Structure 1
């Protein structure tokens, strides 16, 4: 199925980002029940419904140009959003190969890859790119391999080195994080970078998740959904830019909550890279205003109940404590 890509819209300043009716319909609504609790919720990343966000390993949608333009702005302002430790060079080429292969196979209208031994030619029609390079030779690309392909793909990427029975965040291109920092977390273990999450540790969620992730084999990727809320359709909610977005939490009222607050869902995919044995952790973020979510009556009712009954430590961790009462009041009109 061919993907229609819109002209670039903005995730900052005038916030011109909008979802079409099709984008709303395929939005990965993350709540299977009226009540939310932490769980491992990992499943095999097998292809699912045609046209859904689960059809392909890497989802390309109408916001493609918008998201790659946003990534370029972030990297221009803060090059530390792309980090690759020296021992992760092989993993970076692994990631480039996997992403290029899937984009070319799944979206042939937009991408093409031709290979003659180590001489490769990459075509990106959406961005007007024709690039010939030698696989494994960084000097033949305009950017390091992970950054090069991340600049042409929706979603963030972390490459996790597996050693000593743990996973370490030793490389990544992270330009749309939900209140975390690659520069801070680089080099941390799985348990260390998840340390701030409340309640889940007492439930043993991360111990089970780590055991599962360590056993992932090449060719058998897995996925899960994660979620939070964001005021305005803003992708870059990093600690480095908190001075730009933190104050937004104070402008939400029971009158404007539906338009201002956006449900932010991450489709997280974990894939073993065959040469390096590193684990690629891709984080594809979807944004949808609560008003658009509520065009689906079942979603509107469930979102009200989930947010109304959300435990206070989780609400605080997700940064919604200040405006949750106003949002719940706005949502209550759909649950009577």
Structure 2
């Protein structure tokens, strides 16, 4: 099954049948804008499987890690490009208390809960459709997370919209409604490599607009403290090569695990303020990130170990990607002074993140 439709401003969307899992049909959509930028999205996990952006020579570079087939995604449990929920990041001991009731979640990361559990949103089959707009095209994905799924209370109706614009921006709009009080913290887990998917990302120059971060314990759970990045390897307030910072002596990096930390953004939820940038000199690709979220998780592909073969037979090794996962803070349901992730039936969860690409 394959179809191609020409949309406004010469933008195009192609759809093909990609396989089947859990008795559900899986599709792969390809979007292109007027500049040749392309994005591929599948309704399996709401995953961005490819994102091709022009480099300084005008050649397209695929800047996200992933696989070429549905079978590879099914056989290699990972979060490449996926929608993460109900709760992005970790919840300590897989439990939280809400309205005097304690909920026990799936403990899929030692004793802790990570990225929605054993079968999070990344492994669910979503409904998907393309929507035409004046100078952009969107892919709208919807999913009903039923009451009790992975231990969470309430039926949660989720909508995630990926929009590719003609100014080479990827906009991600999240929306959710619940029929019972619950917690909700959605994000996207794209693994970015602005030099393509077959090289280290340690030469990337990173800026994060954050004066503070949330320190973690040996299980990557926030201690509850909010500390300054000044005079530590966590300081990316000015564009700095990631590899340079990672080599500095710091107790959280000494065990070789590397960056997997939440930053407290200075942007106060203002989508017009720059939250982070990522730049690769060899390709000239420059990515700006804007978000309404209070935090962003910096993860440097620490657990990629060369055992995964990705696109075009390429092997994904340690530090082959940089993840910038916009979010509320890890373990917020258990830390009262962190921004709340509670969602009530009379509220609508909404948040937007934008990744905008150019060259320099």
Question: TM-score normalised to the size of structure 2?
Answer: 0.27
Question: TM-score normalised to the size of structure 1?
Answer: 0.28
Q: Which has the higher strand share?
A: 2
Q: Which has the higher helix share?
A: 1
Q: Larger relative CO (CA 8 A, sep 6+): 1 or 2?
A: 1
